[in-house]
Amino acid sequence: MITASAALNSLLLTSDQLVVVDCYDITLQDGTVIRWTSADAPVAVDIAGVRTLFSVGPLITRNNIKLVIGVQVDSLTLTLTADDAVTIGSVPLIKAAVSGRLDGATVRLYRAYAADWTSGWVGVLTRFAGTVADVSGGRSQLEIKVNNHLQLLNTQQPVRSYQAGCTWTLYDTSCAASKHTSIGTVVSVAQRWEFQTSIDSGATNLGTSMLPISLGVVLQGGQLKFTSGKNSGFTYPVKTWSGSTATLLRPAGLEIAVGDSFQVTWGCNKTIQVCDFVYANKANYGGFPFIPAAETAVPV
């Protein structure tokens, strides 16, 4: 339900003309908060009793919002036009977005109201809230699709199923495995998604005996975060890790250079062997490794 303050209710009921602007609150997965407005000047409004400032950012347009009764998942499509002067941290907005910085971000759309441009902002209404589902961009324009939080209801029921592979998410409370990491440097670069690496074995936490499990098996499916170079601070999922060759699931947003350092948080292939030998976590394994394999019945 959309609620408004007493002052805003009074303004909406008594004024024939209003000034209305959009305000966007974007919270990235790392906790960074970005606040932009569609107005030509910064907008300071009270949200939940807290004075909040929305700055002038990129040119933002959006589709219309519809309100329906039920559990239909609505979406908001934002089109952002910006040059390299608009940044997230020190990285231009477009490059940061296509490299995954906005993935999974929470977006809230507020509408701020005032009697005119010379008077103060009376209040805001929350018009949409959701999570970034898709990002695509070109040279100077970015399109972001945001699904509202009803998409969280689209969950498999029952949540757990009988299968050989583990059903837990690595490092969550059900898994309870200790986080393992490796650090290394880039030795040579083939593409922005593929490069040769050198892993610092002295700084690699091997946990218990790795036995038949190679380091590449657990680095595959992990998360690689650059700690130096142009991509410093950005994290990319690892698609494969063969020998010393790392292949990312998507290209890095900026150029990778020889000597760039990184940290890899290990992944898991959901088998009981990795759970036991690598993480010493067999007691918390979330799968059923001895469940019979599917068989085909053939009439005779």
Predicted pLDDT at 159 = 67
Domains in the chain (CATH in brackets) are: 6-153 (no CATH), 181-267 (2.40.10)
List, for residues 254-286, the tens digit of each pLDDT value: 889 999 999 999 999 999 989 988 888 999 999
Mean pLDDT of 174-196: 92
Residue 297: pLDDT band (50, 70, 90) is: low
Q: What is the pLDDT of residue 143?
A: 92
Instruction: Decide: pTM greater than 0.75.
Output: no
Local structure of 60: helix, strand or coil = strand
For residue 208, pLDDT beyond 50: no
Q: Is 161 left (phi over 0), alpha (psi -120 to 50) or beta?
A: beta
Note the helical H segments in the chain: 6-14, 93-98, 215-219, 272-277
Report the C-alpha dihedral over residues 231, 234, 237, 240, rounded to 10 degrees: 20
> Is 63:143 a contact under the CB 8 Å cutoff?
no
Question: How many Å apart are CA 234 and CA 238, to the nearest integer?
Answer: 13
Q: What pLDDT shows up at residue 110?
A: 94
Is the separation of the CB atoms in 269 and 216 below 8 Å?
no
Cα–Cα distance for residue pair 236/8, rounded to 1 Å = 44
Rounded mean pLDDT, 50-76: 84
User: Rounded CA gap, 292 and 180, in Å?
Assistant: 32
pLDDT tens digits, one per residue of 128-170 = 999 999 998 888 899 999 998 887 777 666 767 788 899 898 9
Report the half-sphere exposure of 273 (CA within 13 A, side-chain side): 8
Q: What is the dihedral of CA 83, 86, 92, 95, to 10 degrees?
A: -70
CA–CA distance, 66 with 128 (Å, rounded to integer): 10
